[in-house]
Amino acid sequence: MTVPRALPAEARAVVRGDRRALAQLITRIESRDPSVAPILRALHPRTGHATVVGLTGPLGVGKSSLVNVLLAHLRSLGKTVAVVAVDPSSPFTGGSVLGDRIRLERDPGDAGVFIRSMASRGRAGGVATATREVVRLLDAAHYDVVLVETVGSGQVDIEIRDVASTSVVVLVPHLGDEVQTLKAGLFEIADVFCVNKSDLPGADAAAKDLSELAGLGAARDGWRPVVVSASARDKTGVTELWTAIEAHEAFLDAEPGRRAEADRRRIANELVELVRDRVAREAAERLQADPSHGKLLDEVAERRLDPRTAADRIYERTHGSSSRTRRR
Ligand SMILES: Nc1nc2c(ncn2[C@@H]2O[C@H](COP(=O)(O)OP(=O)(O)OP(=O)(O)O)[C@@H](O)[C@H]2O)c(=O)[nH]1
Ligand SMILES: [Mg+2]
């Protein structure tokens, strides 16, 4: 047995659940501050306990509203909850999101809840990486459930399945053609489908339609997506939604190695991304510092060299000596 080394002070603050420390570290992760690396490294062995649930779906289907009611439900079950909203296009806690105020808004001092938005626009890559790192911090801070909201349908470069152990795709009745074209992709993502706004007409038909499709398709890794109907407005179907999420989590644990296998797949993607990030960053730095770079650009612009050949040369230059660069 190795004796655990003393944690850095900031890591200790996270483990203690110090919200200010958490917020500051998340900001540093967002701004890609390399000084968080040792803190994340120290915390890594303390992660892997939270249930990480992704909620994704087209714009305006009610993801934030559902997160709000799910949050209240989880609090009533005594669970602590952290929420990460990636690229929120509507305010999370503004009274305008829901007609009536949710528990969260009545009780901003609730220590069992932590909410954070993260913007991806205008940032050079690394959104999925940053999201994963933020989720791990929240996991190390002992939140029982971490809910991650993203806008789906390929509008952001984060694949929710790479972050969450259970992914919920939120839809609404009568999404029409948009969903028809999305459906194949959605079945790749969804462990659970939630037809929200079931207070509107057509919800039953939409849920039935999805259930049939789920029944027809081949089960992905032995799991067929579960379809639930909900209304965040009327606060119906939320218990069913959580039950479906728990059923998928139980499925992951029902067979030895199943959850580990899913984790390994996510980690494989993450590692590729991290290496790609580093190679890209180093290439950009070297190019800037390299006096022959301007010549290469001239050659391509003057049609003496094609871009692929130029890129090959850059790659060889960067790649050939990348092992000499310092560790982050
Ligand atoms: N009728 C009805 N309206 C709802 C329901 N849930 C949410 N809405 C409304 O739908 C609109 C969008 O809700 P949001 O929760 O912001 O949806 P979102 O998917 O998070 O939106 P983006 O983050 O912008 O993609 C708001 O006007 C909500 O009041 C519901 O169950 N029924
Ligand atoms: Mg939203």
197 and 56 assigned to the same domain: yes
Question: CB–CB of 42/11 below 8 Å?
Answer: yes
166 and 203 assigned to the same domain: yes
245 and 297 assigned to the same domain: no
Identify residue 180 by its one-letter amino acid code: Q
What's this model's pTM, rounded to 2 decimal places?
A: 0.86
Is the CB–ligand 1 distance for residue 197 below 6 Å?
A: yes
51 and 194 assigned to the same domain: yes
Q: How far is CA 75 from CA 34, 111, 246, in A?
A: 35, 11, 15
pLDDT on residue 2: 45
Ligand closest to CA 230:
1
* 35 is a domain residue: no
Q: Is residue 166 within a helix (H) or strand (E), and if so which, with residue range?
A: strand 166-171
Range of the domain at 245: 47-254
117 and 206 assigned to the same domain: yes
Cα 247 to its chain centre, rounded Å, is 20
188 and 320 assigned to the same domain: no
88 and 237 assigned to the same domain: yes
Q: What is the mean pLDDT of the chain?
A: 83
Give buried/exposed letters for 281-306 (b at 16+ CB in 10 A, else e): bebeebbeeeeeeeebeeeeeeeebe
Last residue within a domain, chosen from 214, 231, 254? 254
Question: Phi/psi at 91 (nearest 5 deg)?
Answer: -65, 145
Is the CB–ligand 1 distance for residue 150 below 6 Å?
A: no
**Per the structure block, which two tokens stand in for 322?**
């990348």
> How large is the average pLDDT for residues 35-61?
94
> How large is the average pLDDT for residues 53-64?
90
What CATH number is attached to the domain comprising 99? 3.40.50.300
> How large is the average pLDDT for residues 182-204?
86
Distance CA 248, CA 71 (A): 18
* 142 is a domain residue: yes
Overall domain count for the chain: 2
* 259 is a domain residue: no
pLDDT on residue 180: 63
pLDDT on residue 314: 83
* 194 is a domain residue: yes
Question: CB–CB of 70/147 below 8 Å?
Answer: yes
100 and 169 assigned to the same domain: yes
Question: CB–CB of 149/83 below 8 Å?
Answer: yes
Is the CB–ligand 1 distance for residue 90 below 6 Å?
A: yes
pLDDT digits (tens, 9 = 90+) for 65-121: 999 999 999 999 999 999 998 866 554 443 333 333 334 454 677 889 999 888 765
Distance CA 243, CA 56 (A): 18
Closest approach atom of ligand 1 to CA 200: 1
Ligand closest to CA 62:
1
Last residue within a domain, chosen from 200, 231, 254? 254
Last residue within a domain, chosen from 227, 254, 281? 254
**Per the structure block, which two tokens stand in for 21?**
């420390």
Nearest to 90 by CA among 112, 57, 134: 57
Of 65, 66, 86, 234, which is best to mutate to test ligand 1, by the most ligand atoms within 8 angstroms of its C-beta?
A: 65
* 41 is a domain residue: no
Query: Dihedral of the CA atoms 212, 218, 223, 227 (nearest 10)?
Result: -20
pLDDT on residue 102: 38
Closest approach atom of ligand 1 to CA 85: 23
* DSSP, residue by residue, 188-255: HH-SEEEE--TTSTTHHHHHHHHHHHHHHSPPBTTBPPEEEE-BTTTTBSHHHHHHHHHHHHHHHHHS
Is the CB–ligand 1 distance for residue 231 below 6 Å?
A: yes
* 314 is a domain residue: yes
Is the CB–ligand 1 distance for residue 132 below 6 Å?
A: no
60 and 200 assigned to the same domain: yes
pLDDT of residue 321 exceeding 70, the answer is no
> How large is the average pLDDT for residues 250-270?
94
52 and 201 assigned to the same domain: yes
220 and 153 assigned to the same domain: yes
Q: 19-30 and 127-140 helices cross at what angle (nearest 10)?
A: 160
* 311 is a domain residue: yes
Q: How far is CA 71 from CA 82, 156, 244, 251, in A?
A: 9, 24, 15, 23
132 and 197 assigned to the same domain: yes
* 51 is a domain residue: yes
Q: How far is CA 151 from CA 61, 114, 210, 266, in A?
A: 10, 20, 20, 20
pLDDT digits (tens, 9 = 90+) for 119-167: 765 444 567 888 999 999 999 999 999 999 987 654 444 578 889 999 9
Nearest to 55 by CA among 178, 180, 145: 145
pLDDT on residue 98: 33
Is the CB–ligand 1 distance for residue 161 below 6 Å?
A: no
